[in-house]
Structure 1
Amino acid sequence: MVKGYFNGTAWHNGIVQTLFSSGMLIAAMIIGLTGGLQRQFLMIALSMGLLGLCSFISGFLPATWFWVFCIAVFIMGTTSMGFNIPFTAYIQRTVPSENLGKVISLVTSIMSFAAPVGMFIAGPVSELLGVSNWMILAGILMVFVSLSCYLLTREFDIPLIKESAACGENK
């Protein structure tokens, strides 16, 4: 997108990569300090939806709006932590400790495998449709997935504060 659509250089690509990583770091610090939203599945769904929305908006940007794209990329970076942190915490909280290493290893392997598969799909599709149209399509799909995920998981989305208080009452 940086080179093909915005006619950027390696310097521009470096800015985009730095902003994405900075967004991840800042979001991780904020979630670490505040605990994030008390409803983890809501936080995951909102993060995926915001990622999709940023992708969707990025697909409509004129080629001269590189700096607006940079803001969208920064927000995209923050959303990855809004998904990963509560998802990992959920796994740690629900999987028995004797199986935790195996489950985290399996989840990490699946997520690592998803990246090249996604690139295998995104590369030819974006060549066929154009990068900006791919961003729009990917954004729509991500918003749809985030809504579906929340609708399918909301009954299990118990606020963490209530859950902690309930655990204290059972002791």
Structure 2
Amino acid sequence: AFLTPLLVSRSFGKEVWRLTCSEMTYSLGMILGGLLLAVWKGYPRRAKATLLTGTWYGMLMFGLGLAPTFGVYLLCNTLIGIASPCYNAPMTAFLQDRVPQEYHGRVFGFLQIAMSMAFPLGMLIFGPLADVMEIRLLLFIGGSGVLGVMAYSFFRKKLNF
């Protein structure tokens, strides 16, 4: 998320309107994803849905890195925004179903701590890397990591779909 403003300014131009469009399309995508979930009313198989939307997200990270024009970038950014709630909602519902109720506070508190730490840790690692590596390459590496985790999780036998 924090690499996209750098990608926009370095690849497509430093105009403020471009950065504004980048943020707005992601937000629009999240709204559309939330509306999609509200209309669709969820997934029958939450773990599988999380893996599929996680895979979609990883592929779209490649799309951001490969985007030849700003319009294609904005399309990929909107689609990533749609993927975000479609990933998080079934994952949260899956955990609510699988974790005993007396542990919900601990598990979701820990999850919140982990997610809160991920952003500054990512900035600590990828911020300096963005000064020495092409941001598109970092998106390919990140997308590959996401796809690798999704593939590992999908083929792991312990996950009950």
Q: Tell me the TM-score normalized by structure 2.
A: 0.87
CA–CA distance in 2 between the matches of 1:132 and 1:7? 15
- Give the match for residue 59 of structure 1: 65
| Pairs aligned (count) | 155
- Give the match for residue 161 of structure 1: none
Kept in 2, the 8 Å contact 1:16–1:70? The answer is yes
1:40 and 2:35 are equivalent in the alignment? no
Unaligned runs of 5+ in 1: 158-171
Q: Deviations over 1:126-158 (max 9, x none)?
A: 22221111112212222112111222267411x
- Of 10, 17, 32, the match for 1:11: 17
- Of 99, 108, 113, the match for 1:109: 113
User: Which one has the largest radius of gyration?
Assistant: 1
- Give the match for residue 141 of structure 2: 137
Shift of 1:95: 2.1
* Runs of 4+ residues over 3 Å off in structure 1: none
CA–CA distance in 2 between the matches of 1:134 and 1:153? 31
Q: How does 1:1-171 map to 2 (within 5 A)?
A: 1-62=7-68, 65-152=69-156, 155-157=159-161
Q: Deviations over 1:34-89 (max 9, x none)?
A: 13332211211111111111111221223xx0011000000111111121101111
- Give the match for residue 169 of structure 1: none
* Letter matched to residue 140 of structure 1: S
Unaligned runs of 5+ in 2: 1-6
What SS does the aligned partner of 1:33 have? helix
